[in-house]
Structure 1
Amino acid sequence: MTRANTVLITGAGSGIGRALAIQAATKGFALILAGRTSATLDQTKLACGDADVRCIPADVTTAKGRAALVQATKGGLDILINNAGVLSVGHIADMADTDLERMTTTNLVAPMALTRDLLPALHHSKGRIVNIGSVFGDIAYPFFAGYSATKFGLRGFSDALRRELSGTGVGLTYIAPRATRTAAEGAFSALIEPLDMTLDSAETVAAQAWDAILKGKRESFPKGKESIFVKVQRVLPALVDRSVGAQARDPKTLAALEPLQRP
């Protein structure tokens, strides 16, 4: 019997990770779902119907958690999706060390370390690494400074590793969704209107991601104004400075931030 292609998804218990898993199940993939909470992973598994699904409760920020995922892939791994991420929003002056460390460790260090640990399996299958970044990894947004920094880092890691792996048969796709309607939305909901943010559903993000993955694309950005802003940011960043800086100074934005201030 031919083995079904296997995809490992981190942060699979909710949001984009759950949507990625459900859509992968409809495409015939075998799934390894990773997350910190067994109950939410089980809910994702249930939503995947009759697909071959294994749930591995694991904290990808720890060596022990990553080792459990390496062990789970001994039967083979074709696609690694580094999706797990966290977010803290507000003035950088109000960010605690724990906020910054949590974002850096989860959003950047963990995917780098897990990718390193799973490279032997991916080399064997000539598989694909998928890093879920953000439009904020190109357009650095005020009040998302720590988060933007981690996503810029993940984009840089993706570009560097893609070049490092050239000729090996292992591919890499960087996915840059815009703001998404997930549980994390509550952390920045007050800023949606004053910053004129457009939100996609997790299902839309997952569908665009799978389209890029299956076509072997280098990167994928959402359709709409954000993709234009990314191009402008790369060529004429001063224009984005003026536009986004004006949003940051707007009294409506500053008023929306007040509930996020630390006492």
Structure 2
Amino acid sequence: MTHTMTALITGAGSGIGRALAIEAARRGYTPILVGRTKSSLLETQALVPDVQARIVVADVTTAEGRHAIVEAAGHRLDVLINNAGTLSVGHLRDTDDAALEQMCATNLVAPMAVTRDLLPALRQAQGRVANIGSVFGDIAYPFFAAYSATKFGLRGFSDALRRELSGSGVGVTYIAPRATRTAAEAEFAALVEPLAMTLDSAEQVAAEAWAAIKAGRRESFPRGKERLFVKVQRLFPSLVDRSVGAQARDTRTLRALEPVSKA
């Protein structure tokens, strides 16, 4: 009996999640599309007409949502991609409790809880967990303080889980894209130029993520200067302190933040 490979993707209604679903279908997986908005998930489903993609309307931050996800995955799951995330940008002093709690709940607590709940199905398939982090999970950026903290946490979770599951047949890949052209770009668009950000397409991120998943790599970083900066950050963090600190103090950066701070 031929086994149909399945890939469950959270945040599949748009952006990187949608691109990950399309790439999954291209590689022969049946995607299980998870998100909070049914209409967005249906749009993603329509983009993969040649596979029997399933949709699960669920909030990954709730126990009820995670129960629905487990029910949809069934007894066997080949790939879990924890992609759902949220972002709030600006001075920490202007970040309210609701934004802090939402980022922590969505970007960090939910991936841990979803992975925990799906471990039996992943073990059955000897599958793989892929956590979509960020370059900001290595290079902590000013004005992205809480977001960076959640991605640092996700990277730590990925490393710890990989070691915990060693010998079980379940692998863990941490994927760290740089800034990406998605709807979330609107949150930081004013900072792209003053912080000299390079933006990738969601399709490029998805292709590189799936290449890392299929190769069984422990982590994946974008090609280019960011990969070098990650190495410098790990070896000589004070150099990054000086460079990024100067960007944070630059008048162009502070002017770009003014509309965000007043929002």
Normalising by structure 2, report the TM-score: 0.99
- Which amino acid in the other structure matches residue 147 of structure 2? Y
Q: Where does residue 74 of structure 1 map in the other structure?
A: 74
Partner secondary structure for residue 31 of structure 2: strand
Alignment of 1:167-186 (within 5 A): 167-186=167-186
1:120-171 Cα offsets, whole Å, 9 max, x none, are 1111111000000000000000000000000000000000000000011100
**Alignment partner of 1:86 is 2:83:** no
Q: Where does residue 117 of structure 2 map in the other structure?
A: 117
- Which amino acid in the other structure matches residue 33 of structure 2? L
**Alignment partner of 1:2 is 2:20:** no
Partner secondary structure for residue 66 of structure 1: helix
- Which amino acid in the other structure matches residue 64 of structure 1? E
CA distance in 2, matches of 1:100, 1:262: 17
Q: Where does residue 48 of structure 1 map in the other structure?
A: 48
Q: Where does residue 159 of structure 1 map in the other structure?
A: 159
CA distance in 2, matches of 1:196, 1:256: 13
- Which amino acid in the other structure matches residue 116 of structure 2? R
Partner secondary structure for residue 193 of structure 2: coil
CA distance in 1, matches of 2:192, 2:21: 27
CA distance in 2, matches of 1:75, 1:23: 23
CA distance in 1, matches of 2:93, 2:158: 29
Q: Where does residue 252 of structure 1 map in the other structure?
A: 252
Judge conservation of contact 2:127–2:170 (CA < 8 Å) in 1. yes
CA distance in 2, matches of 1:218, 1:75: 25
CA distance in 2, matches of 1:97, 1:249: 25
- Which amino acid in the other structure matches residue 159 of structure 2? D
Judge conservation of contact 1:89–1:260 (CA < 8 Å) in 2. yes
Q: Where does residue 19 of structure 1 map in the other structure?
A: 19
1:149-197 Cα offsets, whole Å, 9 max, x none, are 0000000000000000001110000000000000000000000000000
Percent of residue pairs identical: 70
- Which amino acid in the other structure matches residue 223 of structure 2? K
Q: Where does residue 194 of structure 1 map in the other structure?
A: 194
Q: Where does residue 229 of structure 1 map in the other structure?
A: 229
- Which amino acid in the other structure matches residue 141 of structure 1? Y
Q: Where does residue 63 of structure 2 map in the other structure?
A: 63
Give me the CA root mean square deviation: 0.7
CA distance in 2, matches of 1:208, 1:26: 14
Judge conservation of contact 2:75–2:124 (CA < 8 Å) in 1. no
CA distance in 1, matches of 2:100, 2:74: 34
Unmatched 5+ stretches in structure 1: none
1:80-134 Cα offsets, whole Å, 9 max, x none, are 0000000000000000000000000000000000000000111111100000000
How many residues of Structure 1 are paired with residues of Structure 2 in the alignment? Answer: 263
- Which amino acid in the other structure matches residue 189 of structure 1? A
Partner secondary structure for residue 56 of structure 1: strand
Judge conservation of contact 2:75–2:121 (CA < 8 Å) in 1. no
Partner secondary structure for residue 193 of structure 1: coil
Normalising by structure 1, report the TM-score: 0.99
- Which amino acid in the other structure matches residue 132 of structure 1? I
CA distance in 2, matches of 1:75, 1:216: 22
Q: Where does residue 215 of structure 1 map in the other structure?
A: 215
CA distance in 2, matches of 1:202, 1:64: 29
CA distance in 1, matches of 2:55, 2:151: 26
Judge conservation of contact 2:131–2:158 (CA < 8 Å) in 1. yes
After the TM superposition, which of the residue ranges 72-81 and 109-118 deviates more from structure 2? 72-81
CA distance in 2, matches of 1:261, 1:213: 38
Shift of 1:75: 4.8
Shift of 1:53: 0.5
Shift of 1:76: 2.0
Judge conservation of contact 1:29–1:52 (CA < 8 Å) in 2. no
Shift of 1:3: 2.2
CA distance in 2, matches of 1:75, 1:127: 12
CA distance in 2, matches of 1:12, 1:211: 18
